[in-house]
Structure formats: structure tokens, C-alpha cells
Amino acid sequence: MGQPIVIEKWAENLEEVTLSRWLKAVGDTLAEGDSLCEIITDKVTFEYEIESPATLLAVYCQERSVLPVGYVMAYVGEPSEAPPADIDAQNAELLREHAAQTALHLDLGQGETGARRAAPRAPESRVRATPAARRVAREAKVAIEQVAKWAQPDGPVTEADVEAYVRAQSKT
């Protein structure tokens, strides 16, 4: 019987992770303990291990994707099985909800005292960045949007991008 591989809430404050890279490809046979992918959180990078033998039937995100808790990143099962058809729709809805919640947190955190408050950003305009990159940017008091504009990464802004930006800014 097939099963979805879901981003679980491994820590109390975990809201999203970055799937750094896939270690297996669709169609690969997986043994118990095999590493499926590499995941990055604010505090740790680890390999997600398979708990029981199966075949990787589908993946639902690209490498360097930022995924909210609850996102189905892959589906494993018997080679003759087909993944449920509704996973893409469930993931899309979860991403919309996560983007809206993130925009709400950003809006509430601005703390403007005037009558005019900034409108929440549309989910499409949100800069993709790893949780660790966002943390380092906050600590360095730099805008992640400026780092993205400066670094122009192919995927999400990484911790290394933020650190390079801060070094470059300190030299000017």
C-alpha cells in the first residue's frame, strides 16, 4: 500500500523547510533506511530516511523548494500503484494558505503607528529563501529582497547568499 511522504512538524516552531536536493529518482527502489532527500530547517540539515521498502512513484517539488509543514513532497508504494490524483491540488491549497499566513505575519509585524498600513504582499511576489537565510538576514538587519536582487540566485536565497551580501556591503 502506497503512502505519501509529508513534511511533518518535527519541532514546535517549525513552519517550513527547504528540500535541498533529491537523493533518489522516480522509479528507484528504496530499502528501509535509504535516504530519499536532503532537508534544511532553521537549525539543521538532515537526510530524510525511508521507514519501509518501497518504490519512489512521484515527487511533488523541485530541489531548493521551500515547503510548508503538511506538504506532500513524494509518494512511495508498489511499482504497479498510482499516486492519488488529488495530491497536487492539496499541495497547491496548502501553499496558498501558507503564503497568506506568511503575508499576515509580515503585515502584523510591521507595527506602523499611522493610519495607513502596508498591504500584504501577493504570494507571487514573495522572495523564495531558505529558513536559515531568512534568519541570517533578520539577524544582520538586511532585507531578503535586497539580497535576492543582489545575488540573483537560480533557486531560493540561501544562507551563503545572505552572508556574501553582508560581507560585500561591509566593504563599501
Quote the CA–CA distance of 113 and 142 in Å, as a whole number.
Answer: 22
- If one counts the domains in the chain, the total is 2
Quote the CA–CA distance of 31 and 51 in Å, as a whole number.
Answer: 8
Could you tell me if 102 and 78 lie in one domain? no
- Domain of residue 160: give its range: 94-107+122-171
Could you tell me if 133 and 68 lie in one domain? no
Could you tell me if 52 and 103 lie in one domain? no
According to the model, what pLDDT value does residue 169 have?
Answer: 85
According to the model, what pLDDT value does residue 17 have?
Answer: 92
pTM for this structure? 0.62
Could you tell me if 63 and 100 lie in one domain? no
Could you tell me if 80 and 131 lie in one domain? no
According to the model, what pLDDT value does residue 14 have?
Answer: 85
Q: How far is CA 75 from CA 86, 93, 111, in A?
A: 12, 18, 42
Grid coordinates representing 119? 498591504
Inter-helix orientation angle 144-151/159-171, to 10°:
90
According to the model, what pLDDT value does residue 108 have?
Answer: 55
Quote the CA–CA distance of 71 and 26 in Å, as a whole number.
Answer: 18
According to the model, what pLDDT value does residue 62 have?
Answer: 93
Could you tell me if 10 and 68 lie in one domain? yes
Quote the CA–CA distance of 159 and 148 in Å, as a whole number.
Answer: 11
Could you tell me if 66 and 99 lie in one domain? no
What end-to-end distance do the CA atoms of the chain give, in Å?
59
Mean pLDDT in runs of 10 for the chain (172 residues)? 91 88 96 95 90 95 92 95 93 89 61 43 62 88 89 84 89 74
According to the model, what pLDDT value does residue 84 have?
Answer: 93
Quote the CA–CA distance of 143 and 162 in Å, as a whole number.
Answer: 9
Report the CATH number at residue 40.
2.40.50.100
According to the model, what pLDDT value does residue 100 have?
Answer: 82
Q: How far is CA 144 from CA 70, 105, 140, in A?
A: 25, 16, 10
